[in-house]
Every structure is written in C-alpha cells, then in structure tokens.
Amino acid sequence: MKNLKRYMGLSIAAIGVIFIGAAAADTGKVVISSYGGSFQDAQKKAFFEPYAKATGSRVTDTTGTGHAKVKAMVASRNITWDVISADAAAYENEVKDDLLEPIDYSVVKSDGIPADLRKQYGVGYMKFAQNMAWNKTKFPNGLTAAQFFDPKVKARRVMLALPYYNLEFALLADGVKPADLYPLDVDRGLKVIDRIKDQVVGFKPPSDLQALIQQGEVDLAFGPGGRIDNAIKAGAGWAYGYEASVTVVEYWAVIKGAPNKAEAMKFINFAAQPQAQAELPRHIFYGPTNVDALKLVDPAVTKGLPGNPENEKLGGVLNSKWWNENLEAVSARWNTYIMH
C-alpha cells in the first residue's frame, strides 16, 4: 500500500522533471501511431498527454500502425509518423524490411527493462495477453481451454481474425507444452479450431470482439485481455483466465526517415521509465516491462497483470522471430481457412 500511495501521488509534472530534465525546455513535436480504441485512450492518459505537459512538445496521435502501412510509408518516402506502437510480430517484420531507425540509447535510458526487450530498433514497453473468456451465466463454473475446442460444449464463440495468437491458443489447449510450441504445427492448430468452427460467430478484430461480448452476441471468446476487461467493466457478466493464454510484447519504434526523430527518442525515453509505465495499468489491464514499475502498482492489481510470472507460466509467449519468418505463408493459409 505504501508503494501504491507513492505511485498515486506522483504528479505529471514530477514525472517530467525526473525524466526529461533539461530537455523540458526544448519544445518540439512528435506524431505517434497506434491502434485506436480503449488501448490508445489509455496510452494518451499514461504517455502522450503527460509527455506533452512535461515537455511542452506537441504530441499528435493517430491510428493505423501496422507493418503494411509502415512499409508503404517508407517506400513512398511520404513519412508522416514518427513513433509507432508495434506488436511483436509487426515489429519483427518491420525490422526485416529495414523500416525502422536504430534506438538512440544515449537518449533512451531503459536500465529497468530486461535486456532482451531493449533491441536495436525497438524498446519493449508493455506486455499484454490474449485470454480465453466466458459468459458467467452460461458457464458459472468456468471453462477449460480444452472445453473451448470441444464441439460438445455448445456455445457461440468469437476469435480474432489473425493467425497468430489463435494457433498458439489452439495448440496449448490441445496439450502442447509452452516450451514445445515452436515451430508451430499449423496443420494441427487448424484441425483443433476446425472442431468448433461451425460454432464460431466470426473471426473478428479486437473492437468487434469486445462489442459482441457487451451486446450478448457470444458466449465464449479468445482475444485481448484489455478488451475483455473493458467489456466486463462496462457491465458484461464475464470472466477470463490465463490458461492457454498468449503473452505478447509491445514495442515503441521509430520509422526510418521520421521527420521528428530526435523528439521521438525523447518520447520513448519518457515512456520507458517506471513512473510512466506504472501509469498504464491505471487505465487498461496491461503490464509494464520495466521491473521497477511493478513496485509502483497496487500488489492486488499486479497479481492479475499480463506478464506476471505466475500468469505467464499458465500459457505461452509469442515467438515473434518465428512469425517474422513464417507470417506470409501462414497468413495465406489462414485467410483461405477462415473464408471457407
């Protein structure tokens, strides 16, 4: 509780003084692209608005981040974004295609972030999870991951429109150990999903998945824990767990040729610090990567956060390198599969 009071008492101005220092006198601008929805709303409150207030910089946030758009932007040399929020799979493909600027670690001080998340072209700044969730009225005793894929368990299901996450979930539910997930057995994963495909309402983006839960259109779901948690906070009588969950790292990165590269590095530095990272769980159920940030969050909240070792061991961690090498081929199969 002492740490929580300390955390709650930190003002935006204090964060700026501690982590921007002399740079606070330098005003500039930075354009940050993310995913929209409740996630971007949380990012505004935890990172964008505090950074603007602390530094005097003009922060413009927009939506649309993704490998394809970043690639098109760099290819056309019409670069209108500086910083992107990139999930692990997108980040790896952006690195592969040489679409990112190296992180300037003389500016970005990130000692509290594990070394494997301090990469040449990106800084892992949060962990999120894809979780299985269920309607508590229909399933008052909860549900196992194996039951999610049991055709005898009659329920309206919704899953994400992406091959990654879903294939890991299916394989973990089918008994594959987390350490043995990769290389993914795509054939086996699709066969597991096929068991209940006729009960799947649709393969949807995260915002649609959340809406279906809130509108009572589905009974079971597998998708972003933050979206599910928001649906519950909005009144949905649902629960979710970490069995067969998939933990993912989100990265800050700077687009190659970014017009405001120097300011982009300053922003990433700000967002890498423990006080800034500890702010995010106040607004959405995602976990920080900076180990010192966890000390500033209410222990009751930390216990349930994605990335908490006790939760992480119940599922798997997305192997972005494998997806970097296989995304194109697997996506082609996946897109054909969900259309038939």
**Cβ atoms 132, 244 nearer than 8 A:** yes
When the pLDDT of each residue in the chain is averaged and rounded to a whole number, the result is 90
Compare 7 and 186 and report the one with higher pLDDT.
186
Of 110-124, 223-237, 302-316, the range with the lowest mean pLDDT is: 302-316
Helix (H) or strand (E) holding 49: helix 49-55
Peptide bond into 288 cis (omega under 30): no
| Residue-by-residue DSSP string for 206-270 | HHHHHHHHHTT--SEEEEEHHHHHHHHHTT--EEEEEEEEEEEEEEEEEBTT-TTHHHHHHHHHH
Q: Predicted confidence band at 31 (pLDDT cuts at 50, 70, 90)?
A: very high
**What domains can be seen in the chain, in order of their start residue?**
2-127+250-309 (3.40.190.10), 128-247+313-338 (3.40.190.10)
Cβ neighbours of 101 (radius 10 Å) = 18
Residue 199 confidence (pLDDT) above 60: yes
Q: Predicted confidence band at 27 (pLDDT cuts at 50, 70, 90)?
A: low
Which of 49-63, 283-297, 319-333 has the largest mean confidence? 49-63
Q: What is the pLDDT of residue 24?
A: 38
Q: Predicted confidence band at 300 (pLDDT cuts at 50, 70, 90)?
A: confident
For residue range 131-160, list pLDDT tens digits in order: 999 999 999 999 999 999 999 999 999 999
Q: What is the pLDDT of residue 333?
A: 97
Residue 19 confidence (pLDDT) above 60: no
Compare 8 and 197 and report the one with higher pLDDT.
197
